[in-house]
Amino acid sequence: MALIVQKYGGTSVGSVERIQNVARKVKLFRDRGDDVVVVVSAMSGETNRLLDLARGVNPEHCARETDVLLATGEQVTIALLAMALKAIGCDARSYTGSQVHILTDSAHSKARILEIDQNKMRDDLAQGRVVVVAGFQGADEHGNITTLGRGGSDTTAVALAAALKADECQIYTDVDGVYTTDPRVVAEARRLDRITFEEMLEMASLGSKVLQIRSVEFAGKFNVPLRVLSSFEGKEGPGTLITYEEDGMEEALISGIAFNRDEAKLTIQGVPDQPGVAYRILGPIGEADIEVDMIVQNVGADGTTDFTFTVHRNDYEKALKLLRQTATDVGAREVAGDNKIVKISIVGVGMRSHAGIASTMFQALAKEGINIRMISTSEIKISVVVDEKYLELGVRALHTAFELDQAPATNA
Ligand code: ADP
Ligand code: ASP
Ligand code: MG
């Protein structure tokens, strides 16, 4: 008998039929004798619909009220799933985040989980009930409802699994595992049997939204065995195990390709090159709570510097305005921006021990006539910024160049 935390995403609970399908799946585990805690998302499209309602009422973002509103999406699905479970003879109880005391900080829309009280869940499990918990939400110390950021139900599931010391955390979604890249973009993408935490963290933070970044961080920190699987009938399989071990891994140079469409870049040119210049440029951006991702600085022969950085596309206009002000303050020549760019990244622990990966990447893009606008690297990833129109072409070219559609040998 195992204790399993299962999470079902928006598409998996997107209709009454799908909720009934989830109930049948959960019952299979119960019938086998497992204890099951289920985390659900809102029905697909619901969180966006609620956000649109909020914008219609007040174009200004009301952080606290938005969280109260968004949390209702998951409240619907927990109740329906608990009812569907009871309908097939499986005792169940639904709980909102605050009802199971998922204590978070007060950062509305991106709250972090601080503590979870397991008592209620343990009592229910002891009485043979399935515990159904609303994903994506908690409450702060004052009882205010908070949400954990888009895709946050993954994090709820992993956090519950960590708190309950579950034997496995299973993330059921609309694909049957983690693929070499988004199968919606590359039809030849291949499911990975395993991927390391490190690689999954890079993939998630570079744009593969199959798992929310924080859920992977959490799983790594608390050593939660994590698996991504399909919730759909006929698609049952082993899914993808996220693992610490590098033994038994595919001996691929690259494990996957991630991309992010939400990028924008800004450049300030002809800045008098003095100590502190980077701080003067990025200081106001940081103070405005805008996250900067890639940074490139070039000093020209004339002693001035050109400074380029990327931000989330939603922050583009705000960052551009601030940069124009900075340009006036520091006497820079020009400010330019582009919000039609994307970032494509290749990820793999195999990169550590192999040379020539960057040149293969650049060659594959060059062959397709794709101009690289920025490059950044770390130990296990290389990212490039290219024009938005080349996203699909670039990802496909890299997928082929690194032979990701073919299963390599394993190093077991
Ligand atoms: P859920 O609603 O179940 O949380 P998401 O839409 O958040 O599902 O995540 C699943 C989606 O992630 C898939 O439909 C797929 O298009 C996308 N995705 C992006 N990158 C990958 C990848 N490398 N492997 C699998 N799916 C990916
Ligand atoms: N419903 C939330 C969202 O759409 C949380 C989740 O699905 O994980 O982002
Ligand atoms: Mg998701």
Tell me which residue has its CA closest to atom 9 in ligand 1. Answer: 210
What is the amino acid identity at position 409? A
- The pLDDT assigned to 301 comes to 80
pLDDT band at 248 (very low <50, low <70, confident <90, very high): low
| Beta-bridge partners for 346 | 257, 382
Residue 261, Cβ density class (10 Å: 0-12 exposed, 13-18 middle, ≥19 buried): exposed
Residue tagged 């299962």 (tokens):
6
Q: Which ligand is nearest to the CA of 231?
A: 1
Tell me which residue has its CA closest to atom 9 in ligand 2. Answer: 150
Residue 217, Cβ density class (10 Å: 0-12 exposed, 13-18 middle, ≥19 buried): middle
The per-residue pLDDT for range 201-217, each reduced to its tens digit, is 999 999 999 999 999 99
- The pLDDT assigned to 34 comes to 97
pLDDT band at 226 (very low <50, low <70, confident <90, very high): very high
Ligand 2 midpoint to CA 216 (Å): 16
* Tokens (6 digits) for 106: 């007060």
Q: What is the mean pLDDT of the chain?
A: 94
Q: What percent of the chain has pLDDT over 90?
A: 87
Residue tagged 């609309």 (tokens):
174
Mutational test site, ligand 2, from 38, 41, 172, max ligand atoms within 8 Å of CB: 41
Ligand 1 midpoint to CA 215 (Å): 14
Under 8 Å between Cβ of 95 and 132? yes
Q: Which ligand is nearest to the CA of 204?
A: 1
Backbone Cα Rg of the chain:
23
Q: Are strands 381-387 and 374-378 parallel, antiparallel or unpaired?
A: antiparallel
Higher pLDDT, 233 or 187: 187
Under 8 Å between Cβ of 401 and 364? yes
Q: Which domains, and CATH codes, for the chain?
A: 3-173 (3.40.1160.10), 257-401 (3.30.2130.10)
Find the residues whose C-beta lies inside 6 A of ligand 2.
9-10, 41-42, 47, 73, 135-136, 150-153
Checking if the pLDDT of 412 tops 60, the result is no
Q: Are strands 226-230 and 168-173 parallel, antiparallel or unpaired?
A: parallel
Under 8 Å between Cβ of 176 and 183? no
Ligand 3 midpoint to CA 60 (Å): 26
Tell me which residue has its CA closest to atom 4 in ligand 1. Answer: 9
Checking if the pLDDT of 142 tops 70, the result is yes
| Beta-bridge partners for 139 | 103, 145
* Average pLDDT value for residue range 124-148: 98
Residue tagged 């199959």 (tokens):
210
* Reported pTM: 0.93
* Tokens (6 digits) for 243: 């693992």
Q: What percent of the chain has pLDDT over 70?
A: 98
Q: How far apart are the first and last CA of the chain?
A: 29
Q: What is the dihedral of CA 221, 224, 226, 232, to 10 degrees?
A: -130
136 conformational bin, left if phi > 0, alpha if psi -120 to 50, beta if neither:
left
Spatial neighbors of 351 by CB under 8 A, at least 6 apart, are 253, 254, 357, 379, 380, 381, 382
Ligand 2 midpoint to CA 9 (Å): 7
- The pLDDT assigned to 354 comes to 82
* Angstrom distance (rounded) from CA 51 to CA 326: 33
* Average pLDDT value for residue range 3-20: 97
Ligand 1 atom with the smallest distance to the CA of 256 is 23
pLDDT band at 250 (very low <50, low <70, confident <90, very high): low
Of residues 75, 220, 215, the one with CA closest to residue 153: 215
Tell me which residue has its CA closest to atom 21 in ligand 1. Answer: 182
Find the residues whose C-beta lies inside 6 A of ligand 1.
9-12, 41, 151, 173-175, 178-179, 181-182, 184, 208-210, 256
The per-residue pLDDT for range 328-361, each reduced to its tens digit, is 999 999 999 999 999 999 999 988 888 899 999 9
